[in-house]
């Protein structure tokens, strides 16, 4: 395709997206490779300059795990959620808020835009309550495990993000929430991104991961478009498993909550966000109601 044709193919999308809000979840694996992260941020900045209101919600699970191990702590998960004691919460806050969030804001600045870093504590952005005890089956026996300082989201107060977006900043959000008593809780970043997309009335939620999208059971083909009911069938027959479950969960929450499209794309390949949004064919999976 000629260069002018590529640009003209993007025009109707640019017109449609202008002034709309987009929430991009940066997956934990992208966080350990600066080049991968930089490519995603460059795409986000292009979206910002074509007039979209951009919010980046990041993970950092692999880095929290690494830091815990370095400090002699063994990471444990129940249903994909990290069991979080006092010390783990401190490590998670250090890694997510102190390191990763700040690092992303710096990269945004290096790419020529202004980012503001927030955790869910800021302006009561993400309010949550402790999940508490969860049932797990070990062998033949059912046990109850207390997840500790892990939160389930009760409410998003998007005013602080709205204020930043209105003033032309890119919002960068770490997955830490605050409870009613003002204590911090660790929350899953996919869930946070879905809830924030709903609360902001976003036009799109993009979830970046390490595969090309939602794939069939044999992992040979990517589904380009899926309806919520189809994702439910793929969950029921085990096609969607492991780390893909919370991603689909947050996409389903988002589209059910009024976000017209949620996308899952490969963050390890350069500029997949732009190719998914600005080309007719797309490159990942688009989920709609």
Ligand X SMILES: Nc1ncnc2c1ncn2[C@@H]1O[C@H](COP(=O)(O)OP(=O)(O)O)[C@@H](O)[C@H]1O
Ligand Y SMILES: CC(=O)N[C@@H](CCC(=O)OP(=O)(O)O)C(=O)O
Q: Does 27 bind ligand Y (CB under 6 A)?
A: yes
Binding site for substrate: residue ranges? 60-61, 82, 186
Q: Does 28 bind ligand Y (CB under 6 A)?
A: yes
Sign of the C-alpha dihedral, residues 49, 52, 53, 55? negative
Task: Decide if 59 contacts 175 (C-beta within 8 A).
Answer: yes
Binder of ligand Y out of 52, 61, 204, 259 (CB under 6 A): 61
Q: Does 104 bind ligand Y (CB under 6 A)?
A: no
The closest of 218, 229, 248, 282 to 80, measured between CA atoms, is 248
Judged by CB under 6 A, the number of residues near ligand Y is 15
Closer residue to ligand Y, CB minimum distance, 70 or 236: 70
Q: Does 92 bind ligand Y (CB under 6 A)?
A: yes
| Shortest distance in whole angstroms from residue 57 CB to ligand Y | 9
Please report which residue ranges of the chain form alpha helices under DSSP H: 3-17, 34-49, 61-70, 86-93, 102-110, 159-166, 189-199, 228-236, 244-256, 272-278
Give, as ranges, the residues between 138 and 167 that touch ligand Y (CB under 6 A). Answer: 150
User: How far, in Å, CA of 102 to CA of 235, rounded?
Assistant: 35
Contact residues toward ligand X (CB under 6 A) are 27-29, 59, 209-211, 214-215, 239-244
Interface mask toward ligand Y for 203-242; x: CB under 6 A: ----------------------------------------
Q: What is the dihedral of CA 121, 122, 127, 133, to 10 degrees?
A: -10
Residue 209 interacts, among ligand X, ligand Y, none and using kind-specific CB cut-offs from 5 to 8 Å, with ligand X
95 CB contacts (<8 Å, ≥6 apart)? Answer: 60, 63, 64, 67
Number of residue whose CB is nearest ligand X: 243
The count of C-alpha atoms lying within 13 angstroms of the C-alpha of 183, restricted to the half-sphere facing its C-beta, is 12
| Shortest distance in whole angstroms from residue 286 CB to ligand X | 14
Binder of ligand Y out of 53, 60, 261, 277 (CB under 6 A): 60
User: How far, in Å, CA of 192 to CA of 126, rounded?
Assistant: 8
| Shortest distance in whole angstroms from residue 194 CB to ligand X | 13
Binder of ligand Y out of 40, 41, 64, 118 (CB under 6 A): 64
User: How far, in Å, CA of 180 to CA of 160, rounded?
Assistant: 18
Pick the piece of the chain touching ligand Y (CB under 6 A) from 8-16, 56-64, 118-126, 163-171: 56-64
Binder of ligand Y out of 56, 187, 202, 277 (CB under 6 A): 187
Relative orientation angle of helices 228-236 and 244-256, to the nearest 10 degrees: 150
Beta bridge partners of 55: 23, 171
Binding site: residue ranges? 60-61, 82, 186
Residue 211 interacts, among ligand X, ligand Y, none and using kind-specific CB cut-offs from 5 to 8 Å, with ligand X
Residues comprising the chain, all counted: 289
Q: What is the dihedral of CA 101, 107, 108, 111, to 10 degrees?
A: 180
- The binding site for ligand Y (CB under 6 A) comprises 27-28, 59-61, 64, 81-82, 92, 150, 175, 186-189
């Amino acid at each position: 395709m000629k260069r002018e044709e590529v640009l003209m193919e993007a025009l109707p999308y640019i017109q449609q997206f202008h002034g709309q809000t987009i929430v991009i979840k940066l997956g934990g694996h992208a966080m350990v490779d600066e080049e991968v992260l930089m490519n995603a941020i460059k795409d986000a900045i292009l979206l910002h300059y074509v007039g979209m209101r951009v919010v980046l919600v990041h993970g950092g699970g692999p880095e929290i795990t690494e830091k815990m191990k370095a400090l002699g702590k063994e990471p444990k998960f129940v249903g994909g959620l990290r069991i979080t004691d006092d010390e783990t919460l401190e490590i998670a806050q250090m890694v997510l808020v102190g390191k990763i969030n700040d690092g992303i804001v710096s990269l945004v600045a290096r790419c020529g835009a202004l980012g503001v870093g927030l955790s869910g504590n800021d302006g009561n952005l993400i309010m949550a309550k402790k999940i508490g005890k969860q049932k797990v089956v070990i062998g033949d026996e059912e046990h109850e495990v207390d997840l500790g300082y892990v939160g389930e989201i009760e409410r998003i107060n998007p005013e602080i993000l709205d204020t930043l977006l209105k003033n032309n900043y890119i919002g960068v959000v770490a997955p830490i929430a605050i409870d009613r008593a003002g204590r911090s809780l660790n929350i899953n970043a996919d869930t946070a991104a879905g809830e924030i997309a709903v609360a902001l009335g976003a036009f799109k939620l993009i979830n970046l991961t390490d595969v090309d999208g939602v794939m069939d059971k044999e992992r040979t083909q990517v589904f380009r478009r899926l309806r919520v009911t189809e994702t439910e069938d793929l969950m029921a027959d085990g096609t969607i498993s492991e780390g893909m479950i919370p991603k689909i969960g947050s996409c389903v929450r988002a589209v059910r909550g009024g976000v017209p499209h949620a996308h899952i794309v490969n963050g390890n390949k350069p500029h997949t966000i732009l190719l998914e949004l600005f080309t007719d064919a797309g490159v990942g999976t688009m989920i709609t109601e």
